[in-house]
Amino acid sequence: MITVPDPAAVLADLRGRGVAELPAVDVRIGASVLDGAVTDIAATLPATAPVILSDGGPYRTPSGPVVDRLAALLGGCPVVQLGTGTVHADEATVARAIGTVGAARLLVSVGSGTLTDIAKVTAQRTGSRHIAVQTACSINGFIADRSVLVISGAKRTVTSRWPDALVADTDILAAAPWRLNLAGVGDLSTVPNAVAEWRLASRLGHGPPYRGAVVDQVLAAMPMLPALASAARTAEPEGLADLARLLAASGLSMGIVGSTAPASGSEHAVSHLLEMALHRRGCAAAAHGMQVTVATRLAVRVWRLVDRTIGSAGVRVRVPDESAAREAVTRAFAAFEVRTVEQCWTAYRAKREWLLAHRSAVEALVADWAPFVASLTLPTPEGFDDAGRASGLPAVAGDLGAGYDDDLLFWALRNSHLLRDRISIVDFADLLGVWSDDSARSIVADAATGR
């Protein structure tokens, strides 16, 4: 029988295995748990003045607006509202949150994943304690000690802080737009590809070592996604609670490893680039989880490209020379500010230099490719497409809404390896000399038609 891992059970299991430096996060998931959880948790934390950080979203339960209820529960504490339903995690917004919250507070965040990312950074930099109130099952990052910020115009993941507590009240989750809850299923659907890319990089000796114990239970629960997608659509409380648990278990894996690698591969880099492009145009982006599941359809096809390339004769590993790499980064991000280009070049240059020094490790993996790939829990393109259909997830650019098309997907996929210093399957295709405009366009076309 397949079960959804409970975050507390995951932590207990890891402690039993002797895993060190595990977080002490109080996770409360269930129906009507908000008031009791916040009261209990606040009582266990040092006596500090509470403050609520909100993105201004209309979060409600049958008992009324969530922020108003919490403010009253916490003695009429102040509310810092950073937006009117949406918020952008750029440097100015983070600075405003830090300056307004002040030092050593009890910070209660109520809002989206982006708002929670801002809150975790704010708690870290102000020395505050933090209770995160989850308002939708939209992402796996509510619990992790990592935050995605926009720094010099580029999406960047930074170390922030574990929340002291995560509260996921299904009364709140059920009132969220169903598409936001379905986006959480989309975020989870990407985990097998992210883990495969983590194992790829780890095999080369780059980034955090692979630790199967932190992701095995999440991977084992992947067959549950269609049922969780149904719960997201119908706002079924028990199903939403299970979805929140699985998202939290996935989020824990990132913090425990000290990297987003267990849940973020090239598909997340594609998603970050989509958001950067849309923000530059002044357009609203689709939910993160919707973007990454479409991007995963592309990523699994890049794996197939690499697999077929290695299976052919005469494969050679080529690390791009510095001038060509610099030109590629400049061309890819020419529409952005100079500081964004420099951000991306700094990250990619570090990766390129590492690959240059470890070319023999890449060649060794190429030689051992077949058994390595056989050991992965990576779905085939057809298998991933079928699972997405069973869950009712978006499949092509047009499913994501206005502003998305195959040209934008192509640009984001083609340049995804140039955004950050993490090694991905796209980097591997580039090292094998098969990453080009033509191959990226072919993959976008194949994903659109299910080939």
DSSP line for 221-268: TGGGHHHHHHHHHHT-HHHHHHHHHHHHHHHHHHHHHTSSTTT-SHHH
Stretch 422-445: mean pLDDT, rounded?
98
Residues 6+ apart with CB under 8 A from 100: 80
How far apart CA 96 and CA 240 sit, in angstroms, is 33
Asked whether 75 and 46 are in contact (CB, 8 A), the reply is: no
Count the neighbouring beta carbons within 10 Å of the beta carbon of residue 278.
Answer: 20
Sign of CA dihedral 325, 328, 330, 333: negative
pLDDT digits 0-9 by tens, 25-73: 999 999 999 999 999 999 998 878 999 999 999 999 888 999 999 999 9
pLDDT tens figures, 411-422: 999 999 999 999
Work out the pLDDT band at 314, boundaries 50, 70, 90. confident
CATH architecture of 264-449: Up-down Bundle (1.20)
Q: What is the pLDDT of residues 330-367, one digit of tens each?
A: 999 999 999 999 999 999 999 999 999 999 999 999 99
- Identify the pLDDT of residue 20: 82
State whether residue 165 is helix, strand or coil. strand
**Separation CA 433–CA 169 (nearest Å):** 50
Share of the chain above pLDDT 70, in %: 100
Question: In the prediction, which pLDDT does 451 show?
Answer: 87
Instruction: Encode pLDDT of 254-279 as tens digits.
Output: 999 999 999 999 999 999 999 999 99
The domains of the chain are located at 7-176, 264-449
Tell me the mean pLDDT in the region 137-143: 96
Torsion, CA 226, CA 230, CA 236, CA 240, rounded to 10: 40
Rounded to 5°, angle at Cα 87 from 65 and 394:
90
pLDDT at 47: 77
In this chain, the answer to whether the domains covering 7-176 and 264-449 adopt an identical fold is no
7-176 CATH: 3.40.50.1970
Query: Hey, what's the torsion of the CAs at 87, 88, 94, 97, to 10 degrees?
Result: -10
pLDDT digits (tens, 9 = 90+) for 145-177: 999 999 999 999 999 999 999 999 999 999 999
Of the listed ranges 11-20, 120-129, 248-257, the least confidently predicted one is 11-20
The vertex-371 CA angle with 366 and 375, nearest 5°, equals 120
Asked whether the CA dihedral 401, 405, 409, 412 is positive or negative, the reply is negative
Give the helix ranges, DSSP H, for 7-76: 7-16, 34-44, 66-73
- Amino acid identity of 409? L
Q: pTM for the complete prediction?
A: 0.96
pLDDT for res 349: 98
